[in-house]
Amino acid sequence: MQTTVFTLASAKALTQSRRLIDTQVQLKEFLPALRKSSWVSLDTEADSLHSYPEKLCLLQISLPDTDVLIDPLSQIDMTALFKALASRELLIHGSDNDLRLMYAAQQFVPSKIFDTMWAARLLGFTAFGLNDLLSKLLGITLDKGSQKANWTRRPLTDKMANYALNDSRHLRALTDQLRDQLKSKGRTTWHEQICNKLIRDHAAPKETDTSQAWRLKGSSKLSRREQAILRAAWHWREIEAIDANKPPYFVVRHEDLVCMAGTVIDKNQKTAWPAKLSSRRFKSLREAVGQALDLPAEEWPETPRTVRRRISQSEKLFYEALKALRDKHGSGVDIGVDFHGAVQPPTALQLVKALEPYQPWFYEEIVQALNIDVMAEIAAKTHIPIATGERIFTKWGFKEILEKRAAVILQPDICYAGGITELRIIAGQAEAYFSPIAPHNPQGPCSLAASLQIAACVPNFLAQERGDNEYAELLAEPLPPVENGHRPIPPGPGLGITIDEDKLMDMVGEPSPYGPQFDPDDGSVVDW
CB 138 within 8 A of CB 114: no
- Answer for the pair 172, 67: CB distance below 8 angstroms, yes or no: no
Short-list 229, 369, 359, CA closest to 293? 229
Q: What's the rounded Cα separation, in Å, for the pair 43 and 98?
A: 7
| H-type alpha helices, 11-78 | 11-17, 24-36
Beta strand spans in 388-518 (E):
517-518
First to last CA, the chain: 51
Classified as helix, coil or strand, 290 is helix
CB crowding 95-109: b at 16 or more within 10 Å, else e:
beebbbbbbbbbebb
- In the set 235, 340, 383, 486, the catalytic residue is 340
Please return the burial class of 350, using the count of CB atoms within 10 Å of its CB with bins 0-12, 13-18 and 19+. middle
Which amino acid does the sequence have at 329?
H
Task: Indicate the angle between helix axes 420-432 and 395-403, nearest 10 degrees.
Answer: 10
Query: In sequence order, what are the beta bridge partners of 43?
Result: 60
Closest by CA position to 111, among listed 38, 44, 46:
38
Q: Tell me the HSE value of 157 on the side-chain side, using a 13 A CA sphere.
A: 10
Can 340 be counted among the known catalytic residues?
yes
Sequence-distant (≥ 6) Cβ neighbours of residue 72 within 8 angstroms: 55, 56, 57, 58, 59, 78, 105
Distances (CA, A) of 440 to 140, 185, 364, 391, 414: 43, 19, 11, 10, 7
Distance CA 241, CA 152 (A): 17
| DSSP assigned state of 68 | E
DSSP 8-state symbol, 134: I
166 vs 40: CA distance, rounded Å = 14
79-86 vs 95-106: helix axis angle to the nearest 10?
A: 140
| Annotation marks residue 235 as catalytic | no
Which among 57, 162, 61, 174 is positioned nearest to 120, based on CA atoms?
Answer: 174
Of 50, 170, 191, 440, which residue is the catalytic one?
440
Whole-number Å distance between alpha carbons of 412 and 450: 13
Rg (CA), the chain: 29
Query: Helices (H), strands (E): how many in the chain?
Result: 21, 13
**Mind telling me the catalytic residues?**
340, 440
